Amino acid sequence: MKKDLHPKWYPQAEVIYDGEVVMTIGATQPKVIVEIWSGTHPFYTGQARLIDTEGQVDRFMRRLRRREEITTQVAETAETLEAARNPLNQRVEVMELGARAEKALAEANITTVGEILEKLKEGEDSLLAIPSFGQKALIDAKRYLRAEGLME
């Protein structure tokens, strides 16, 4: 067998914690310095130390609330986008009827495409009765409504 193959064995090695010798053990070093030992460990002493100030349930509930808030915001945004995409909710200006016709509709409190469609259901004369709203604007409005599939 080779000589000096194994490290030197110290049967009375000192375990040092916080500058004090707390026990002796057999080891390959004459002194073993530790940061924690069985005399100070909460498991052995029975003293529970609260490491986490916030429990797992509290953290989970906080994450759950945040997720619900985000889901609600996304749903509200989706509803807003859907309402904006609805051609009936768009402003009259998208129809490009001209400044004079748009001004006439604004004075008659007609601001959306849906309101123009409602007026057309009453008849073409209801739109033509609006001062400064002429035949060309009526034709352009009907062309736009047909193109959007809102009218036959």
Task: For residues 74 and 122, state if they share a domain.
Answer: no
Task: For residues 100 and 117, state if they share a domain.
Answer: yes
Residues 6+ apart with CB under 8 A from 106: 92
Residues β-bridged to residue 31 = 14
Task: For residues 93 and 77, state if they share a domain.
Answer: no
The total number of structural domains in the chain stands at 3
Task: For residues 37 and 56, state if they share a domain.
Answer: no
Residues 6+ apart with CB under 8 A from 69: none
Query: Rounded to whole angstroms, what are the CA distances from 146 to 53, 105, 108, 142, 149?
Result: 65, 20, 23, 6, 5
Cβ count within 10 A of residue 92: 19
139: domain range? 87-146
Task: For residues 91 and 141, state if they share a domain.
Answer: yes
64 located within any domain: yes
User: What letter does residue 112 receive in the DSSP assignment?
Assistant: B
5 located within any domain: no
Task: For residues 58 and 40, state if they share a domain.
Answer: no
Quickly state the pLDDT bin for 126 (edges 50, 70, 90): confident
Does residue 13 surpass a pLDDT of 90?
yes
Task: For residues 103 and 141, state if they share a domain.
Answer: yes
- Range scoring the smallest mean pLDDT among 18-27, 79-88, 92-101, 141-150: 79-88
Task: For residues 142 and 91, state if they share a domain.
Answer: yes
Tell me what pLDDT residue 51 has.
57
75 located within any domain: yes
106 located within any domain: yes
Task: For residues 98 and 142, state if they share a domain.
Answer: yes
Tell me what pLDDT residue 52 has.
58
Distance of CA 24 to the CA centre of its chain: 58
Is the CB of residue 87 less than 8 Å from the CB of residue 113?
yes
pTM over 0.75? The answer is: no
CATH code for position 34: 4.10.80
Query: Rounded to whole angstroms, what are the CA distances from 15 to 7, 86, 148?
Result: 18, 78, 86
